[in-house]
Structure 1
Amino acid sequence: MTVIKPGRAPESALLPPATGAPVPRPKKRRGSRSRRGVSGWVVLVVMAVCALLMLFPFWLALINAFKPAEEYLQTGPTSLPTTLDFSALVAFWQSVDFNQKLVNSVVISGSVALIAAAISLVSAFAIGIGRVKGRVWILAIFMLAFTIPQEALVYPLFILTRELGLYDTQLGVIIILSVLQSAFGTYMLASILGAFPPEVLEAARIDGASRFQILTRIVFPLTRPTLAVLITFFFIWTWNDFFLPLVLLPSADNQTVSVALGALSGQYTSDPTSLAAASLAGILPALIFFLLFQRTLMRGVNLGAVK
């Protein structure tokens, strides 16, 4: 005889019936999975169309740079060239002294990328870890600084460079663009260093590390991926910059690639094959730089997202 205590069910009632029938499993929701699959395909198609639209100008520049001018007039800009003609590319290269323009752009873009990244790191270290007074207001000023259009700054910068003897010099453009680019870098790095673990800094101070040692041995190695991303961005932005080099570098010996490309098109001059060759010559260096540092760029973006 089984004694049932009040308030408690018998053990036999807690066990499933021994009928031998399989226990029914919950049915999978096919509708949600199918909807996810359809939305995923829609996103993939939209991204593929956007990628094709972005690559289409590069494709036009590539096929028209090596197309004879007569064939361009007959078949139009979208047809593939039947013969490869390098005359437009050679003519552009020699007419604008592209070797010198290429060296100028590499020197200016590389210097601005490195100097702006260094300024951003030091400024962000003082704001994010040094905890200076008015940190929020300083970050707000930096945020506003990189939103000001260059057209509003060109006249004061022109007067300043002329008074300091830096007008029509690469050094003047490097200093100005480094300061302008570092505003974005400081804002970005200060947001990251503001969440830096204080225990690590306190342990370093207890061990007798100075601020410079903390910056070089602790902060710099941890922010190296983010700095690589900033250097890549600064290089490409400076390479594509047109307005400030056009105003501050009037002589042909100091001009950059973007200014040389802009000099080819005018109101009464139009050579589509030469423009295509010039566009291809101006795009390739920045594209090669991006492909070389693509892995570093993606690693820095992913690491920043994880942190």
Structure 2
Amino acid sequence: MGAYVLTRVSFSKGRLLGLICCALVFGGASAAQRKSAAPLGVSTLVVRTQPNAVVWLNDVRCGVTDAMGALIIRRVPRGAYTLRVRARGFKEKALQVRVPTRGPVRVILVPTDDEAELAFQQAEELRERAKSEDDRRRAAELYRQALRLRPRFAQAHVGLARVAMELGEYDAALEEINAARRVRPIYPEASAVEGRIMRATGDYVAALAAYRRAIREGRGFQPEAYTGIGLIFEDQGKYEEAAASFKRAIAQLFDTEPALYQLLGAAYEKMERYKEAIAAYEKYLELAPNGSFAPAIRSIIEQLRQQAAGKRTLPF
């Protein structure tokens, strides 16, 4: 995968997409819980359940509950959501919620001795912290163990597909996506992962088709797919369309994912819309002042301010 060039500093597009997809699948508790003024039309959702439980809204991971079993999710647009909660050793639970809510949402989890569920939970945890090929292969074996115990385990098929994709085993990844869809024909996450696989192989036509199917299946809510579409448009030099897609993903991630602001800023920069690029980069710094790209982005902002000033003084 090629380099993502931003002014005179290069970033790895693969690394950026990995960061974003990590936020989507494994998420950033710190991002979801950052304190900021909520604009009109959004609300705060408080979830109370087991300690160290993972919480999703519409399959977007929003964070992990604290030692008291609480998670505060800020800047949630008003509307209906599927709230999903998983804690190790407990049966996963999903329920419908409407934001704003009247007080905290309490989710009671029941302990489980289901070996397939427990193997799946271990696989997810290992994939989250995987730092090597060996870690990913151990996660893959745990997913396979879960599937041997429960062949019609759609989530395990998708998890295994993600691991296979990260290992560069694209045919095997697609086989798992097809298996997941046989169990659950309408599955937005599976379609989004298919889009990532096809983009990684360079088949942009198939990737766009899969991403758009993910959005339809998610009834318009699928930030991973919008991010993938934006990256394809960026690769194709369609920066206006890329920026629009990144903005859709940002809105669906409750306006808290820093890496998307880096991508949005780069798209604006390439359109020479320096004021908007600076605003996007500054938002990145607001959300991730100590992020891995923060020093470079501070330098880029200064360069853009100089370029913007020079552009204003050009004779016409």
Work out whether the TM-score is over 0.5: no
TM-score, scaled relative to structure 1: 0.23
The structure that is helix-richer by fraction is: 1
User: 1 or 2 for the larger relative contact order (CA 8 Å, sep ≥6)?
Assistant: 1
TM-score, scaled relative to structure 2: 0.22
Larger radius of gyration: 1
The structure that is strand-richer by fraction is: 2
